[in-house]
Chain A
């Protein structure tokens, strides 16, 4: 192949590369930060080599020094890939907002997704360069015995996955606010977090290298655990990516649908893995389902706070993307933006969760492969229903309060989510506080004034001693359902209207009341 052909092929390939990646790589190659980190990495690795050899002395020939040397090199690598690279990714995106270069990027043909992906790819390229610099040293540890190649590969793989995940978290944090004060605070939090991860990773790597990986790899449970971890990693990564993209998306565009699609995928993955764990790996004991329900509640609790705090109404741009077919519209109605559809979206998932728990509970004797005799009767379905009722109550209450505030002043989505979380925390923590400090009260003695605390109430219900308690959270959920019924119905009706041909002709350029809401949100963020 001639040089001309290769050059032309490379140029065509270069045209297809993310422009952000091209720009950032050019910048990185000229930046002092990158070259200084690279040189320091090499110098530190050499120091570990010579220092280790000097410390080991003649014993080096007789003992298995591999793990010790490996951990030394890993500590050097960990600092670069767990601290320097993710923080660099954070600064890169935060800097675009601080220097107001992001506005210019936002009006090019680049999509917010391409911008986030470009920053992430740049971080990954840097990680790989650091990896390649450390590779000869890592290979050297294998020759020193006491460590196998599988262990080295596993640690490096986990470290790479962890580093990419941290870079994604850093990019997500960078999209939170363009205000300098917030950026400084987030920087401090991020640096602290990254240093903790770096420090914790070193003994973790040492533990992994000292255990026999070969035996672990042969166990089916290991691969199942890996499958669960990989599913969680991929789905939460996708969620963070879409959240970052949403934060960078123009206010009048659709910021929600992709995030909600990811939430649906996460829910399905959760159901599949939970079902597998229940049917194949349990003996029908309810605790496993309780644990899974609590995990789901925490996940949906955070998601709900954001779902119910989105700005109300469809912008004209989003309205034009509503499907024209009635069936497609019905299927996708709840993924369109807005607090009304958000609350309905949450409700559908909570009802599905309760229904699936009931199915698991009642079919356990036939479905669970290793089902043992059931000791006593645990009200699992009731537990799931009450948990769902609490979640819906707090989300619905948040929606009502956010709606009320927005009548008087603009409130960004992040502010609405914070209010919803604070409300829920107050309802949970205030009775807990009194239950702990009142001198005549034992925490385990449940009182009706603890009804707003789901932890105490669910514990009581799970004991099976107070099933009637369930009527209170159910009643609270019913009240907030009634209070939110109109906004939910209005949101669905708006989508229905937007999907009809009459509405599709709209496009006069006159901003609607909905756009006003978006503008108010943007004003609050400004």
Chain B
């Protein structure tokens, strides 16, 4: 599977490592080259500097042939915009988008984006841990 990941933070970097180790073709994007320090030495994918809101950058990252696009930068709105570009402009078959704000996450999932909110997920997990 060809996967483009936008945002090389802790989550993006880790996902890139896992997918790469599992034999997938990974391209990871970040605006700051310093973020790529999170990638392991043996990372076999491509690390590309650029803003994923720019169509040209996405093309360079191979979005047109990608099977999946995952966007996990720190900005909810940036993630939402990039995910919609991938889905509606480049017709990527699988697009997953992180949205911290639960309300925005709900709204965009009803609008057809595949989204997840760490806030909602962790609150639930913590609640269950406390109550068990």
Q: Do A and B come from one complex?
A: no
B→A interface (CB under 8 Å): none
